[in-house]
Structure 1
Amino acid sequence: MASAVSAKSLTNDPIPATLWQMTWPVIIGVLTLISFNVVDTFFVGMLGTDPLAAVSFTFPVTFSVVSLAIGLGIGTSAVLARKRGAGNVDHARFDGVIALTVSALLVAALSLLGFLFMDPIFAALQAQERLLPLIHDYMILWFAGATFLVIPMVGNAVLRSSGDTRTPSIIMASGGLLNAIFDPILIFGLGPIPAMGVQGAALASVLSWSIGTILVLWYLYYKGLISFKVPEHAHPVKSARQILNIGLPAAGANMLTPLAMAVMTAIIASYGAPAVAAFGVGTRLESLASVIILALSMSLPPLISQNLGAMQHDRVREAYLTAIRSVVVVQLVIYLILVIGAPYIAQVFTDDAEVARIIRLFIYIMPLGYGMQGIIILTNSSFNAMHEPMSALALSIVRLFVMFVPLSYLGSLIADIPGLFVGGVVANVLTAGIAWQWFQRGLRKQRNEEVA
């Protein structure tokens, strides 16, 4: 599991080949992980519409914690990669330990708050009272094990900062595979293991995260990518501040997504449990359809950060352009595939005719905007890699609360659920244009500051 791309390659080799070499392992890892998350939804769907709706209500909450972990990983990758690009390897190793420690503590604190205020949170999401026992069964275990989710995510960010995208992909894929194995056993029972229902789905996730934590910590130590030795002119507080200066705004930007999803879920809830169940399936299908975007959002930042550390701005711009051209073409192809397969996809997830109808409607409309959404996401990750986290945060606010939620709600007032979906597509198109112009200005600013 040696590093696929060296630090020298990141700052010297041709951009398209280097980006592809870094991205393909991530595609496999993310595809495997998300595929098994879709399998998770499939198994829960077999329990009935209410369990599927209950787990769908948990998505904005669980994704809030996941978003904090993602943001901390972004901060970790940006700081460590830039230091490696500038030749400060010892500092990068020490910062890796600080990142893991701080991330575990923050996620544990957020999970505790989520546990203490569980009932008010789901009441605000308009969850029906009959679904609350199912939501409790799922979330109590999920919150208890959330710390084991963040450590592999931040550990993988440490690996990616060094140019190694292959090992994180293997770890992600292994976690997804374990989750898919544990799911049916714990949900439906096997031999002496009792059927646990939605509680089994949560336990399957926690077990797979725990194994991932052990694997990633061992590998980081074995490869010498983390060190407890404090380098000259370094301090734990200083290192934590550098990571959090990027990680917290990045986490805030990521946490805006589940907040927006919570508002959307509340809007969808007015159409009943079948609509919520269908929307839950749709959001998971969106994750699966966005694999290339997600992979590039993980592999592009180290490439940008290391080249900024080496003051190679033309390579930064080329990497960004290569990435967004790729996602626009790929997402168009994915849309055509989804449209052709829509009736069959709906049948896989539900026997309820109304749920199936709304799933098909989601597929016919929402993926039209995924290419534009990819431009926004890659611009966000590029801003963080450029150590411009506030620009990334501002772009997220514009996308979600100036464009996506208002236009989706306006669409729902005009044409119910179809209008809601169309409004989301229009929002992504408009925001993509803003993101493109914003990045060009940001890169010019970086270049001028380096010259000055």
Structure 2
Amino acid sequence: MIDMTTGNPGKLITRFALPLLLGNILQQTYNIVDSIVVGNFIGSEALAAVGNSGIIIFLLISMFAGIGMGAVILVSQFFGAKQEEKLRTAVDTIYIGMSVAALIITLCGIGAAEPFLRLMHTPEGATMEMSVTYVRTIFLGTAMSFGYNINASILQGIGDSKSPLLFLSIATVLNIVLDLLFVTVFDMGVFGVALATIIAQGTSFIFGAVYINRKIKIFRLFSHRMRFDSRILLQSFQIGLPAGIQNLLFCVGTIVLQRLVNSYGPAFMAGYSATNKIDMFVFMPILSFANAITTYVGQNVGAKNLDRVKEGVRSALIISVSTAIIMSILVTIFGRYLLMAFTQDAEVIKTGEEFIKRLMPGYFLLAIIFTLNSTVRGAGETFMPMLASFVSLLVARVPLAYLFNYIGGRYNIFWCYGAGWFAGSLIIVSYYLSGRWKNKAFRFVEEAEKPKR
């Protein structure tokens, strides 16, 4: 565990972020392997189906994921404040609440798969059939996915980013082996790809739970003395609901954009999907430093040290923006060769290249947005990150995608990303510099110190 309330902020954030980065790369690696196996051994329609399905899966878990994020921010603040009893209760409350959520999402996901896919204008025939199969199978494993991610998030809240890397390594290796086995040997198609994901995440979840109970002494998972605290759950809602709505808005906007992409057929869809996989690798350092700054801010808010918060944010911005610029240049140069790992289809590769050329120039803005969103969120303010994301996506990106499509044709759709990031950055940069986010700090730790009535 890393106590981020003392020591050099830049070094602490980097030390915490590097295992997160390796973990995110591993996670994307097995997502990439899914796509490579699907694209090369099943076909471009299957690649389009898998890429098309991801946003629906994220849509149905997004609200609950936001509530979970709120609980994890509380964990980091309680840890920083040295309130161990509240920390144990928060962990118990997260597990109980998310267990109920997993059951609800499983049922909703299986039932809503086909209607949502039709809403997105998924082409009928093989693409639709494979998309429905993939989505429904993934939702059968919701509990496994939640369990793995809850373990990782709780550990990150107390400053441990190395153990989740171990759990994810297990999932990645197992997923790759099962992908190849189910698809190339047993010819199970996209069902085999989804099943491999469920088994890998389930194995990692179980291993992680056993590891935590043996190594972490502050709390214990699945204890017969688990406690549910309605006040902590309410606080999690207060912090996490705007984050959940932000995720929901992202999904809605992405679905509307996906409808436009889908209207150009499976090859355009496949190019868009393949580029999104590459995009996630560029995004990984940004996400890793954003998650690190959330924990850093949460712990230092718990310790009531705002001067360290500002010093850490400066360090995180410099590192994240510099990395985004370097990565975007490399992907622009080598984009064609990266796309060829997914497919040899010329039309698919052409779409991907055009997407990359329009996506990468504005990537440094995304680094700014995520770093500052995570900063104010770690302090307990989640409305403004939601507002910045709403403006970036639904006010700017989606309408501009349709406008650029009308004016310049299908490839110019992709200029909407940079334009949206610019709009969102104006809001969150202004809010951070105003200092108003400081008004939300300390309130949850102080409330936890009050006795229950």
Cα distance change of structure 1 residues 167 and 68 upon mapping to structure 2, 3 Å threshold: farther
Name which of 34, 39, 43 aligns with 2:33.
Answer: 39
Tell me the equivalent position of 1:397: 390
Distance 2:442 2:20 in 1: 33
| Cα deviations by residue, 1:272-300 (Å, 9 ceiling, x for unpaired) | 11111111111111111111011112211
Name which of 5, 13, 17 aligns with 1:23.
Answer: 17
What is the number of residues matched between the two proteins?
Answer: 439
- Contact 1:317–1:443 under 8 Å retained in 2: no
Matched to 1:220, the amino acid is I
Cα distance change of structure 1 residues 293 and 21 upon mapping to structure 2, 3 Å threshold: same
Structure 1 residue 115 and structure 2 residue 107: aligned?
no
Distance 1:167 1:447 in 2: 29
Q: Which stretches in structure 2 are left out of the alignment for 5+ residues?
A: 446-453
Post-superposition offset of 1:86: 1.5
> Superposed, which structure 2 residues align to 1:256-335 within 5 Å?
256-335=249-328
Name which of 158, 161, 164 aligns with 1:162.
Answer: 158
Distance 1:152 1:444 in 2: 32
Tell me the equivalent position of 2:169: 173
Structure 1 residue 414 and structure 2 residue 407: aligned?
yes
> Superposed, which structure 2 residues align to 1:116-195 within 5 Å?
116-130=111-125, 131-189=127-185, 194-195=186-187
Tell me the equivalent position of 2:448: none
Structure 1 residue 102 and structure 2 residue 94: aligned?
no
Post-superposition offset of 1:26: 0.9
Post-superposition offset of 1:43: 0.8
- Contact 1:304–1:316 under 8 Å retained in 2: yes
Q: Which stretches in structure 1 are left out of the alignment for 5+ residues?
A: none
Post-superposition offset of 1:447: 7.1
Structure 1 residue 77 and structure 2 residue 69: aligned?
no
Tell me the equivalent position of 1:209: 201
Cα distance change of structure 1 residues 235 and 134 upon mapping to structure 2, 3 Å threshold: closer
TM-score (norm 1): 0.92
| Cα deviations by residue, 1:386-445 (Å, 9 ceiling, x for unpaired) | 111222222221121112112222211111233211122122123223211112233343
Matched to 1:212, the amino acid is S
Secondary structure at 1:387 match in 2: coil
Post-superposition offset of 1:150: 1.0
- Contact 1:34–1:176 under 8 Å retained in 2: no
Secondary structure at 1:349 match in 2: coil
Distance 2:382 2:265 in 1: 38
Distance 1:145 1:152 in 2: 11
Tell me the equivalent position of 1:219: 211
Matched to 1:199, the amino acid is F
TM-score (norm 2): 0.92
Structure 1 residue 345 and structure 2 residue 341: aligned?
no
Worse overlay, 380-389 or 78-87: 380-389
Tell me the equivalent position of 2:189: 197
Post-superposition offset of 1:446: 4.4
Distance 2:272 2:284 in 1: 19
Matched to 1:181, the amino acid is V
- Contact 1:186–1:204 under 8 Å retained in 2: yes
Structure 1 residue 67 and structure 2 residue 79: aligned?
no
Distance 2:283 2:139 in 1: 26
Identity fraction in percent: 22
Distance 1:235 1:396 in 2: 32
Distance 1:327 1:84 in 2: 26
- Contact 2:183–2:193 under 8 Å retained in 1: yes
- Contact 2:301–2:442 under 8 Å retained in 1: no
- Contact 1:68–1:252 under 8 Å retained in 2: yes
Worse overlay, 57-66 or 419-428: 57-66
Matched to 1:135, the amino acid is S
Post-superposition offset of 1:147: 1.4
Distance 1:259 1:178 in 2: 32
Matched to 1:33, the amino acid is Q
| Cα deviations by residue, 1:148-204 (Å, 9 ceiling, x for unpaired) | 101111111111111111111222232222212211111222xxxx21011111001
- Contact 1:85–1:310 under 8 Å retained in 2: yes
